[in-house]
Structures are given as structure tokens and as C-alpha cells.
Chains A and B, each alone.
Chain A
């Protein structure tokens, strides 16, 4: 077992860090304030760097790197801007990846290549008003209609919604089949007739990432846009979320790392009673705990990413990593705000944004409760 990044992985870390700090970071606070997604900055420039297809083979326009490199990239982006981190994670893990895993060769040529190159942006439609973590109770329907499928229903809380050109969407294709069996996955292009966007969510955190409702009203899509086998949608969703958890866990580690660095810098500069507050054990012990928890989370994420690249099972590893990292992010960012005191609570400093951003990592792509359910079920199977 080797706990060292390869030369390529370290170079990817250095490159994405430098890119994130110089390009993404400076506008993060303002974009958060204005709830503004900047596509040129938060997606197109990632595409130029080759991040939008990082894990896919070169033949599909990817960089041919491993999941660990991907985890590192999402972490480094999220360290300065969690919204940019999730833009990449949703695009790659939730849209491009299921097409890579389940798509036909022609679907890969048509969709994956454009997604990997960043010519198109991807999103994933699973959650519905009455079906959140419970994918089995999907209400959106897809009915065979001549040579295609007719979709009706709506999906909410769609990250990259409205901005993305390509959507992987889950819909019920067999009303009579048992809960998990009657669901199928589809690839849907923005601009398809009957496919519209609802309201843009106003959120606590990741405010620079667009979250929208997507609506299907008699939306007719070609038969070849079925992704994977008919009735296999639940499996597509579960596999997709396994990968997605690596992205979100990486996002959480990045947010936590960003907050820790802010707290350390502040603790070294801020003087009270004539010494830097870092000199007080009350602060330094907290910093030590924060750093330790982040490192544990990071290693768990790396483990899950390693297993994904090595072709080993990683559902359990990614669920554990996501649970650990997201709860760590929430804890660490809250502590960072506390260490910065009044400044931490002020928008002058980025830690309050990080704290708001951290909360979502405990919720989306499976709440902490769902992760525990998944992990517990596997343990007691």
C-alpha cells in the first residue's frame, strides 16, 4: 500500500490549485452574494484545462486520468469555491459517468465526447417532490410512443439545471413492475419540445451553482435515448450515485480544508492578551482536531477513488467517505467561524460562506441518514 500521489497526480493537484486560487477564488464571494453562475469561468475554463472529462479515456475526449485525480480536482476547486466544485461533480459524476458506464457506443460518441470536451454541460434528474432519497418511488413517467418515449413529470433540485445541455433523467416506464424495477434512464437534450425549466432555487449555500426544477410535458424523445436497458434505471441511478459520492465527498474535504486554512491564518495573526490566539490551547487543540478529521476524510475519499479506478467495489467506501467528509466539513466550517469570532460571522471573511456551503454536502446525493442506512444495511446483510 502506497500513500503517495504519483507525479501526475501531484502535478494535477498543483495545477488545479493554482488555477483555482488565481481564477476561481477571487470572484467566489461576489458570485455567492449575487447568486450568479458564471459559465465561462466555472465550466468553460475547466473544459480548457481538461477537467470536464478527466476520468474518461482519450478516445472519448477525456484525459485518461484516474478517479483519484478527479477527487483531487474537485477538492482543490471546492477549497476556494464549493459551487465550482459541484458544477464539475454534477457534470462528470452524475451525467457523463452514467453515459460512460451504461451508454451504447453511439451514445458515447454522441454525448460523452461532447461532455468530456466540455462542449456540453451535464446534469442529472432523479429527485422529485415526493421522491428524494427514495429513487424507487419515481413518479415521472416515460411511455412508449411510436418510435420514442413520451415523458411527463418534473424533477426538482437539479444541479446545473437550466445551464446544462445534456440531462440524464430517471422515469418510470412500467407502472405495474415492482418499485425498483419499472424505472429507466434517459438522455434528454435541452431544447427538446416539452422540456422546460421551472423555478430557480434560492439556497443557503452553493449559491453560485444553479439549482432548478426541470419539467416534462408530453416531451417526446427518440427511442435511442434510453440509457441502459429498459427497467434498469434504478441500477443506473445507484451506480451513478456511488460515483457521485466520491465527488461530493471531495467537495466536502475541499470546503473543510479551505476553512481550516482560514482559521489557521487568522489564529496566527489575531492577537488577544498580547499573544496570537493560536498560542492558546483552546484554539490550537481545535485546529488539531479539525486537521485530523480532514485528513481522515481525505484518506477515505482517496480510498474510494482508488477502488473505483481499480475496478473494485466501492459503494460502501464511497458512502463512508461521503458520510465522514460531509459531517467533517460541517463541523470544521462551524469551528472555523467560531475561531474567527465576529469576523467569521461577517461576510468580510470567507468562512461563513464555507459553513453555508458545507451544509449541502450532508444533504444531496444521499443525506447522512441515507449513507448510514446504506452502510448499515451492507453490514447486517
Chain B
């Protein structure tokens, strides 16, 4: 069984972000980086699938500058067998369709049985790449997976819907799955496996070899949302206050819809 896991390296979301000089993305300097949280579930599911099947070969793919190899090393230490680093210093300016095209160009002739991606990235958060890869490869894709079970070439997956409800779906492989938080419990790479990951194959492919589509969108500007100017203070009679607050909650939140 051949498994592909696509991962992204993202900044720690607790970081102090700054807008870069071009004003279209965050400044990469002085950030702590880690594997996109959703992708950790994808890697774990791939490794679990291989363990359950008792055989398999897992390729982990990531696009970006040399730095993304750190996240790939983690995936290799968690149990992926080989890495493909699509080298691209300008990855942050690629839009989801381009990213998906790169992955599809790589995966096209490799005959992967199962492809895992995260549901979305924590930084860009488009939630498109996984599905687009499936579409470009002509593979069925199931998104927002919180439970995964494969028997033979048939997968039963549970999708997480709003309000905690799950939809159960069946699909035959080859297929693609986008992983939601809580799908499994990503393992910590063990120290011996971290040391062994050093010896695993990590192939680098220049992005130009895989990318031949133009962007379908671009970022006009990146900026900080306007700060909450000191909260609204409501005073008065209790009944009126309750009416006012209900109205505000209807307008500003989704909890009363």
C-alpha cells in the first residue's frame, strides 16, 4: 500500500505577527515554526494505517524553503518512510490551486492508494488544497475526517459536521482524506526514531519541475483587524438590558441562530 501525506510548516499561532514589507503576507522573521496541527493528525493516521495493515510505504511531502525539512523530519520520526521536499522559497505567495497543482503533478503517476492532508492550514486556512488535489487527480475525497477505518480497499470514515454530529461515509481507495483535529492522538516522535529519521531518504525537487499553472487569485493586502475599542457598556433597567443584549448577540455572534 502506498500512502502520501501532505504537510505544511506554519508559524506557532501564539507568535507575534508582523506584516511583511510587501504588505501581502506576514513577516517570516523571528517566528517559531511547527508542523500544521491538522497535518499531525494526517501523519499519525498514515502511520497507524501502515501499522494496522502490517505493510505499506509512506511518503511525506512538503512545499517550501529548506526550513520545512524540520517539519518533515518530525513526520519521518513519527513513522513516515521517505520525504519529498518541493523546494520553493516563495511558497507563501502560492495560492491553494497552485499548491494543489504541485502536489497533483508529483502524485500523478505514483499510484498512491491513500492520500492524507490536513483539513486546512492554521495560517492561510483556505481548506481547499486537499479537495483540489483529489479533483485534479480524479480521486474521491472525504473532508473533515474524525474517524477512519480501512478494510481491504474500502474505507469507512466519519465526517465531523456542525454541532458535533458525524456523517458516516464509505469510499473505495484510491481516495483522499482531509483530517480534522481529534481524528487520533498524534504520537510524540521517540528519540531513537528522531535519530533514525536522519537516515531516511529525503528527496528535493525544485518547484519549477512541478508547477505549470498561473495563480487564480492574489493577496492585495494583509493587515491587522481593527482593535476592539473598549467594550460597549450597557446600563439601565434589567428587562431593557436583556433585550439589548439579545439583539447584540444575534448581530455579533452565531450562538443564537
Direct contact of A and B (CB under 8 A): yes
A residues adjacent to B (C-beta < 8 A): 7-8, 10-12, 14-15, 18-19, 48-51, 54, 58, 62-65, 69, 73
Known: A50-B191, A54-B191. 11 other contacts (CB 8 A): A8-B197, A8-B198, A11-B189, A14-B34, A15-B188, A49-B190, A50-B192, A58-B192, A63-B192, A63-B195, A65-B194
Is the C-beta of B70 less than 8 angstroms from some C-beta in chain A?
A: yes
CB-CB nearest 7 A-B residue pairs = A50-B191, A63-B191, A50-B190, A63-B192, A50-B192, A64-B195, A19-B188
A19–B197 alpha-carbon span in the complex (Å): 19
Task: Name the interface residues of B177-205: CB closer than 8 Å to any CB of A.
Answer: 188-195, 197-198
A13–B62 alpha-carbon span in the complex (Å): 21
**B191 engages A51 (CB within 8 Å):** yes
Is the C-beta of B159 less than 8 angstroms from some C-beta in chain A?
A: no
Q: B77 — which chain A residues lie within 8 A by C-beta?
A: 11, 15
Residue of A nearest to B32 (CB): A14
Q: B194 — which chain A residues lie within 8 A by C-beta?
A: 8, 11-12, 15, 50, 63, 65
9 residue pairs A–B, Cβ–Cβ below 8 Å = A7-B70, A8-B198, A15-B77, A15-B194, A49-B190, A49-B191, A50-B192, A58-B192, A62-B192
Q: A64 — which chain B residues lie within 8 A by C-beta?
A: 192, 195
**A7 engages B69 (CB within 8 Å):** yes
A63–B198 alpha-carbon span in the complex (Å): 12
Given contacts A8-B198, A11-B77, contact A48 B69 (CB under 8 A): no
**A50 engages B69 (CB within 8 Å):** no
Shortest distance in angstroms between A261's beta carbon and chain B's nearest beta carbon?
12
A11–B190 alpha-carbon span in the complex (Å): 10
Is the C-beta of B158 less than 8 angstroms from some C-beta in chain A?
A: no
Is the C-beta of B73 less than 8 angstroms from some C-beta in chain A?
A: yes
**B70 engages A69 (CB within 8 Å):** no
Shortest distance in angstroms between A250's beta carbon and chain B's nearest beta carbon?
15
Shortest distance in angstroms between B77's beta carbon and chain A's nearest beta carbon?
6
A51–B193 alpha-carbon span in the complex (Å): 11
**B193 engages A50 (CB within 8 Å):** yes
Shortest distance in angstroms between B256's beta carbon and chain A's nearest beta carbon?
31
Is the C-beta of B74 less than 8 angstroms from some C-beta in chain A?
A: yes
Shortest distance in angstroms between B198's beta carbon and chain A's nearest beta carbon?
6
A63–B69 alpha-carbon span in the complex (Å): 21
Shortest distance in angstroms between B37's beta carbon and chain A's nearest beta carbon?
11
A7–B192 alpha-carbon span in the complex (Å): 14
B63-98 contact mask (Cβ, 8 Å, vs A): 1 or 0: 000000110011001000000000000000000000
Q: A58 — which chain B residues lie within 8 A by C-beta?
A: 192
**B70 engages A10 (CB within 8 Å):** yes
**A8 engages B73 (CB within 8 Å):** yes
A64–B199 alpha-carbon span in the complex (Å): 13
A48–B74 alpha-carbon span in the complex (Å): 17
Shortest distance in angstroms between B230's beta carbon and chain A's nearest beta carbon?
13
Tell which of B70, B189, B191, B197 touches A65, judged by Cβ atoms closer than 8 Å.
B191
Shortest distance in angstroms between A225's beta carbon and chain B's nearest beta carbon?
28
Shortest distance in angstroms between A257's beta carbon and chain B's nearest beta carbon?
15
Residue of B nearest to A66 (CB): B195
A15–B194 alpha-carbon span in the complex (Å): 10
A12–B189 alpha-carbon span in the complex (Å): 9
Shortest distance in angstroms between A320's beta carbon and chain B's nearest beta carbon?
27
